[in-house]
Each structure stands twice: as C-alpha cells, then as structure tokens.
Structure 1
Amino acid sequence: MLQIFRVVASVGSHGFRHSSSPFFSLNKAARRGSAGVCWPPVPPVKLTEEQSKSRQHTPKLIIIPAVGESPSTMATSATSVLDKRIGFLGSGQMAEALARGLIKRGLITADQIVCNDPNPVRKELFRSFGATPYDSNADVARHSDVLFVAVKPQHVSQVLSEVRPVLGEGHTVVSIAAGITVEKLVEAAGPDARVVRVMPNTPCLVGETAAAMCLGGKATCEDEVLVRRIFEAVGRIYTVDEKLLAAVTGLSGSGPAYVFMAIEALADGGVRAGLPRDIAQALAAQTVLGSAKMVLETGSHPGALKDMVTSPGGTTIAGVHELEKAGVRAAFMSAVVAATERANQLAKS
C-alpha cells in the first residue's frame, strides 16, 4: 500500500513521472513545451510545491460570487511569489478569473491588483476580494507593472491611448482581446511598448485555461516568461507565431463549445438508454474530464488510449463504429477549420 501511495504522490503538473509502464510514459517532446520565439528556448516555469499541489484538483466554478457575498476564501496572504503589480483595464469575468486564480495559487496577493471598469458593480466586486479599483485607466497603469487589456475588442485602441502617456520601460502590456493584432496594439500603445497578445479560453473561469501567446513591440524573453508564469497559475499556455493565433482561436478558443455539445450529446444518449438526466450529465462531464487528464498526464496519443478501451467485438468498438459512420471525426476537424477561417476574417476587418 505504501508503494502505491508513492506512485500516486509522484503525479505532478507534468504527469506520472516515475512509472516504467509504457502507458504512463511521458512524451518527452511534449514535456519540453512549445518552441518559443526566444533563443535559447525559455525554460519551463517551476511551480512551488504548494502550486503543484493546487493544480491537482477537480475544477469548481467559484469565480462569480453574487454581489454582497462575503469575500472569497482566497484571502490576502502575507507574502507572494511574484513581485509584480497587476492591473486590469476592464474587470469582466475573464479578468476576475485571472485575478482570483493568481491569488488562489499564491502567485500574488490581492493588494497587488488594481483595476478599472465602466461598471461600478464590477469594480466593487474586485474591491470585495482585496483589489484596488481606480476611476481612470491612467491611474491603473501608474500602479501596475503588468497591464492586462481585458476590454471588448472595439474599445482596445481607446483604453490604450488613455494609458499611453504613462507607459514606461517597466510595463508589460498583455492583451486578451480577441482579434486585435499585435500591430494594432503597438500602434495604440506606442512603438516602445512591450506587448504580449494572448488568446485564452473560458475554462480560465475554473482555473483550466488553454491559451497561446505571441510577442510584439519591444517585448522580451523576460516578458514571455512572466506571462507564462501568470497563465500557468490558471491553466496552460504556449508560445506561437501570431499567424497561428487564428488556429488557436478555432481550436481552443472555440473548442469549449464543441466539447459542451459533446457532453450534452453523451448525456442525451445516457438518458435515451435509461439513466436519470442528472446522473447522465455528471457521468458525461466526468468522462470528458478524466479522458482529457489521461491525454495530458500520460503523454500518450489519443488513438492509443482509445485502442485501450476498444476490446475485440466489445461494446466500445460498436459505439466507435457508429461515430465513424456519422463522420464525427471529420465534423470536429471541419469545425476547427471553419472557426479558424472566421477568426482570420475578423482580424482583417
């Protein structure tokens, strides 16, 4: 029993490290991370022991408490890991998810966060968990080292023009606005701005985002490391060329919708087979969660993991045959391509 416990305890943010079984062997190339734009390659960010433990969890939607509730249990601690002040231009759900995730993982404390938003309710919500709201974007920039542009795409140029006079060498500007190119960001923020464009997705709300970034303006390898460190507190992030961000949008940006549809369809199938709706939905969601973790933590090819479930003449291969007849695989591929093409169209408009 002790040996079994040690095997389980060896599971970290990079998966099963010490098992000799082929099933649990990691793909070494995958462990190296993405090929960054900097050379030599940026080393992977090392999480503290506490952060590694906190990454091993079943996501719970705790991001959006009702106004008037008591502050989150993620209280301000005495110390933080990241010695940076984080500012949010726009305090919507994605900004809140990032802020709470950074606090929860112990990367920063709440008093290192400042924000602004035209909606006073959002500003008060940030105040409720210890952040400091300001009434102007310029004030947010003055009190920030990392400045997140978290407004709707049509407002990006305006807010960056407001903070441009106070941006200095110490600022890293991170845009999570969809479709706004690095060129447009640098044009609005100034030629000397250190700009990082990030495409996250909505699972950021539960600390499991799949994101990609590219650098622009005067951004450096240090900015890349910093942004990776921030986003690894709420999921995973990879560095790509900007021309690939549309594909990231089509895959991981839009992907949650595809997965939600798959979960809904699986649950409907369970109901059709006689299961109560609540149990069918829970089983479907947990199946997707567990399957995804097997891909990430073992490094095995999804096809190999699929083959492990499909025994000769069994139930699973019968179901897989129906999926192949329906063209499910091609439909997912077409969805990603269609969303990618649409993202490219929007970026040019």
Structure 2
Amino acid sequence: MEVEGYISRGDYRGALKGALEIENPLKRLVALAKILSAFPREEVLSKMLDTIEPLRSAPERALAYAILGRALYTLDRDHDAGIYFEEAIELAGSIGSARLRGEVLAGIARNLVLSDRYSEALELFGKAIELLQTSRAYSASVSSLITVARLVEKSADEIPNGMAIDFYRLARDVYSSLRFTLQARHLEEKMELVRDVLKRGKNVVEELLERGEVERAVEMMRFLPLEERAISMLELSYWLFLHGNLQLGRRTFEDALEIMLVGKFKPGDGELRGIGERFLRIGFLREPMIIAGLIRDEGTASELLGEIALSYARRGEMSRALSIAEAIGDESVKKRLLKVLEGEEGVGHEQGLPSAGGGEGGGTVPEDDRGG
C-alpha cells in the first residue's frame, strides 16, 4: 500500500514503515514530510534527519534541506524552517552547472509554496527560469524549462489568493517563449477567470456550476472568502447529489462542514436553510438534519426541522418524524407540526407545514416534485 493510503486510514506505523522502505532518499523525505503533516511527531522528524545525514552532493542536500524546512513549518517551528531554507538556497548557489542550479532552485521554490511562502517562492522560481533561459547548454535546458513551467503552474493551482495570477503569468511567459501557444492561452484564460472570481466572488462559481463546469467551479472556490467558500461547497454538494455523484457529494459536504468548524463561523441562517430545503427536494434527509444543527436562529432551525419531520412522515417513518418534532425548540412550530402529524388539522401532510407569519420557504415540496 502507498504511504498516502496508510495516512488516509490513520495508520501511523504502517505509513512510517512504508516510507522507510523507499530507497531513494529524496522520495523517502517527501513521504516522511507527508506523514509529519498528518502525524506531527518528533520520531518522524528524527527519521528525516537520519535520511539527510548520508547525503553529500550539493543538489541532493539542498533539496533535502528544503523538504525539511517545509516539514518544520508543519510543527510551527518557523525559525528553524527559515534557517534550513536559507541553507538550501546557499547550497544551491554553489552548484557549478547553471542548468542544474536552476532545477534545484525550482525544487526549493516548490517547497516554499507548500510552506505558504508565496512571495519568496515566486522570486526563486523567477531566478530558476532565468538561469535556465541563459544557460549555455540552452537546448538541454528546454526540457528543464518545461518541467519548471509545469511546476509553477501546479503551484498556482494551489495558491488561494491573488498571487496565483503572478504564478500563472510566470508560467505563461515560459510557455510563450517556447512557442507553446495552447498552454499559454490556457493560462491566460485561467488568469481572467481568477480575476473575475476575485471581483465578483460566489456568483462566478455559481455560473460555472450552472454550466456544468464542475472542475472549474471547484478550482475557483479556493479564492472565495471562507464564509462564501463554505456555502458554495454546500451548493456544489447538492449539485453532485442531484446528478448522482453521491460519493463526491458527501466528501464535499464534509469538507464544507470542516471549513465551518475550523474557521469557527457559519454562513447566514437563510442561506443554510435554503440549502437544506434543496436537499429535501431531492429526497436527502441526513444533510438537512446536519444543516439544521448549524442554524443559530431557533425559529429558522425549527422550520427546517419541521420540513424534515414531514419528509420522514411521507416515507412512512412516523416514529422518526414524531421524534424530530418533539425535539423542536420553537413551541409554536412544534405544536403546528404535531397537529399535522397527528391528523388533528383539516390539512393533510401533503399540504406541508404552515410557515410562521406566512413567510417564504415554510412549506414542504410535494413528493412528485422531488428530484430537482
């Protein structure tokens, strides 16, 4: 099993054993860095130092120091991390071959990106590209330039702020210099899209979803403020459920919850209720229950819980419906709901739960409207 597989299963010992079996020391260091990110233990750091110790060549040692520097940021040891990055850059400067020096600087820059040190990474990527473009063995450097351009583009794809445009521009310039017209044009389009998201926010992501451009929508979500990103991910989750991609839909839903819990914020109650109702319309009840628990206003949460209870009742799960009804905090909503469920009012449950004050969104959707 790959190291990532052990990490995803929470198997620390299996991941560590797998990493230590990797023969290539730099690949072993990368694997150990991933383990350290998931399991921040001194034992992993010790194994990284043991791996670096026998390395003697300047290129290998420089890259190893950069990987170690990135790992130390994981442990919030920023000062030590900075020292190792400085040593990595100094070692790279001692490499005689301009082409090899450029490749190593690009590797260090990539680790700076993974440490969220974007400005330093961009500057170092620029130096690496300049070295490769001015190398005497230019024909041999073309392959390296392409590799570095792809690395810059990959880094841009991971940066969650406007600096991504600077990275895309740098990669585009390299592609243009090599006459890779299609790649350069693709990055131009990405830059325009990022600018649009930074300007108009969530609306752009919603438009992409409406057009079915799911991958682009997911990619652009990283530029949204956390509050908007969370609600956009809930909307994406709904879209995925609607189109039958349940596995990815659930994963996206969980990711949205994690953003809210880690960021200690929640979107507006109205937005949350609206998303919950959309899930109900397509027949999913677990997600609206979770969303109801996130709503701060008791009345709004109670209205959504009432709609969930009615949905269970329609399915014939009356005991579940009554259990939810009894737990509703707003007494007026609870009384109205119980009367509907117990058949004490003239309206059948097909008429839905009357909304308090006649506001919008209070009723449930008839069963023949489920599915979108």
Measured against the shorter chain, the TM-score band is under 0.3
Q: Which has the higher helix share?
A: 2
Q: What TM-score, normalized by structure 1, do the two folds share?
A: 0.26
Q: Which has the higher strand share?
A: 1
**Relative contact order (C-alpha < 8 Å, sep 6+): which is higher?**
1
Larger of the two Rg values belongs to structure = 2
Q: What TM-score, normalized by structure 2, do the two folds share?
A: 0.24
